């Protein structure tokens, strides 16, 4: 049986479910918001837990491989006071963490390795070692250092770790943006937290590369067609930016596979830029990135590749 750890709203997991069904594989989709309504049992020295969730019985000993997608916090049933709910969320989250550990090396990407691979300075250092071109970069919270860095070129800023800010009035995404440090007068504005600064690369295209095992699926995104998306293609109310299958140079495809593997991953979503001179630049790798829209827009068989990789893990 294959285990898919995600949430009810994750459409990307639906692609994997359809492919598992097409191949006749047994699977369990574990929507983690429902985990707090489960019944679970574990007694040492047994290695696995028994679990009944949303009417489905799951013996973790039967799990041959797992896909860790987009889990969310467990949601305790209504009727408890706030303090009890907060405490219960912590306890159910601890149980989930134990469950993840039981799967061990049978994950497509393990939660632990995903967390480690999200280290962007580490990504850039490793990418440079492997021969990728990377933009001039500075991680800082020092206004004077930022001004000196951006003195000779246009600079962009992006988060060091989290692009999603959760707020009481709704979540907010921090997009990659151009910055003008000459207009910043108060050093405390910078001191609050470190950010990543990079030289802006003049783009011809954004390139999203999805790596699954040794397979590479590259897609171009014509981000320069819309003035709103020239810096960050995600920053648009127009969902129809042109996408196309893109043929990477063979050596670059090999580097993408090598980078993913050296991070201990079997899956990676890599963001590149193809500049106006025809040169490719590495920006970052998302160890748990979205890919469903790429499959829909380009026809790349990514779900098939993921299920094939799960089959390989299962042996």
**DSSP per-residue letters across 274-293:** EETTS-EEEEEEETT---HH
Q: Please, are residues 49 and 60 in contact by the beta-carbon 8 Å criterion?
A: yes
Q: Please, are residues 254 and 106 in contact by the beta-carbon 8 Å criterion?
A: no
Residue 17, helix vs strand vs coil: helix
Report which DSSP code applies to 124. Answer: H
* pLDDT higher than threshold 60 for residue 170: no
34-43 per-position pLDDT tens digit: 999 999 888 8
* pLDDT higher than threshold 90 for residue 44: no
Residue in this structure with the two tokens 């990789």, named with its chain if needed: 309
pTM (2 d.p.)? 0.90
Q: Which pLDDT value is given to residue 291? A: 96
Q: Which pLDDT value is given to residue 161? A: 76
Report which DSSP code applies to 25. Answer: -
Please compute the mean of the pLDDT values over residues 253-261 and round it to a whole number. Answer: 98
Q: What are phi and psi of 108, to 5 degrees?
A: -60, -55
Q: What is the dihedral of CA 225, 229, 232, 234, to 10 degrees?
A: -100
Q: Which pLDDT value is given to residue 239? A: 63
Confidence of residue 126 (pLDDT cuts 50, 70, 90): very high
Q: Which pLDDT value is given to residue 29? A: 94
6-19 per-position pLDDT tens digit: 999 999 999 999 99
Domains for the chain: give ranges and CATH numbers: 2-107 (3.40.50), 115-119+202-300 (3.30.470.20), 136-199 (no CATH)
């Amino acid at each position: 049986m294959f285990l898919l750890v995600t949430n009810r709203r994750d459409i990307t997991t639906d692609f994997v479910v359809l492919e598992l069904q097409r191949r006749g594989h047994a699977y369990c989709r574990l929507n983690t918001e429902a985990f707090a309504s489960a019944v679970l049992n574990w007694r040492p020295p047994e290695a696995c837990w028994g679990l009944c969730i949303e009417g489905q019985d799951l013996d973790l000993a039967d799990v041959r491989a797992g896909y860790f997608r987009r889990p969310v916090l467990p949601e305790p049933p209504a009727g408890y006071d706030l303090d009890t709910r907060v405490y219960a969320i912590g306890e159910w989250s601890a149980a989930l963490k134990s469950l993840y550990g039981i799967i061990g090396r049978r994950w497509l990407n393990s939660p632990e390795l995903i967390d480690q691979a999200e280290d962007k300075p580490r990504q850039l250092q490793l990418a440079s070692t492997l021969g990728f071109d990377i933009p001039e970069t500075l991680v800082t919270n020092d206004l004077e250092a930022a001004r000196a860095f951006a003195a000779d070129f246009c600079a962009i800023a992006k988060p060091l770790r989290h692009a999603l800010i959760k707020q009481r009035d709704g979540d907010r995404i921090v997009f990659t943006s151009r910055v003008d440090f000459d207009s910043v007068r108060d050093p405390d504005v910078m001191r609050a937290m470190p950010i990543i600064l990079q030289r802006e690369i003049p783009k011809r295209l954004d390139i999203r590369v999805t790596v699954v095992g040794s397979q590479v699926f590259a897609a171009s995104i014509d981000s320069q067609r819309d003035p709103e998306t020239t810096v960050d293609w995600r920053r648009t109310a127009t969902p129809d930016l042109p996408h196309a299958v893109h043929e990477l140079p063979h050596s670059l495809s090999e580097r993408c596979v090598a980078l993913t593997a050296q991070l201990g991953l079997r899956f990676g979503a890599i963001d590149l830029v193809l500049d106006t001179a025809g040169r490719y630049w590495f920006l970052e790798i998302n160890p748990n990135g979205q890919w469903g829209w790429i499959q829909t827009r380009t026809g790349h068989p990514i779900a098939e590749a993921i299920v094939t990789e799960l089959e390989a893990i299962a042996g």
